[in-house]
Amino acid sequence: MEKKDISYLREYDASETTTGTPKYYAMSGGATGAGASTSGKMTIVPTPSSAFMFKLHYVARPLGLSSANTTNYLSLNFGNGLLYACLVEAFSYLKGPMDMLQLYEQKYQTEVQKFGGEQLGRRRRDHYTDGEPRIPVPAQTP
């Protein structure tokens, strides 16, 4: 499908009743400013007929942790990174040796690099546009 402006799609199918093979899509709503074209509502024209199946992949901000929500994507997949981030933040209240703070910061940076590499390998990119990731990702065990 080819990306177009929402006004183009409205002119193409003003009645929004045409079905068939999808040709164009547009992003609208959501963020303001630079991110406005990449978040919000997705419109596809013509409307896919029942013969078409499609998947929509998107990236969403994880929900915050609370008593009602005890896990999220980061807590499940970036546990060590969250631990070291908390240790670095909590260290300002402790009166421990500075070499421990440096150790926690170094371990946090290592976890961030490792997590970022995994995210590149987990199809968070468009392989047809960006190419295949060059960082090997270990297989996940269930």
Q: Which residue has the tokens 């969250």?
A: 82
The reported pLDDT for the residue numbered 36 is 47
The reported pLDDT for the residue numbered 140 is 66
Q: Are residues 83 and 32 in the same domain?
A: no
Nearest CA among 7, 23, 13, 60 for reference residue 38: 60
Q: Are residues 20 and 63 in the same domain?
A: no
Stated pTM of the model: 0.49
Instruction: Please return the burial class of 45, using the count of CB atoms within 10 Å of its CB with bins 0-12, 13-18 and 19+.
Output: buried
The reported pLDDT for the residue numbered 131 is 52
Q: Are residues 37 and 65 in the same domain?
A: no
pLDDT along the chain (142 residues), means of 10: 85 82 81 53 84 75 83 88 93 86 94 84 53 59 62
If one counts the domains in the chain, the total is 2
The domain in which residue 32 lies consists of 2-48
Helix (H), strand (E) at residue 81: helix 79-90
The reported pLDDT for the residue numbered 107 is 96
Q: Are residues 62 and 42 in the same domain?
A: no
Residue 31 inside a domain? The answer is yes
The reported pLDDT for the residue numbered 47 is 84
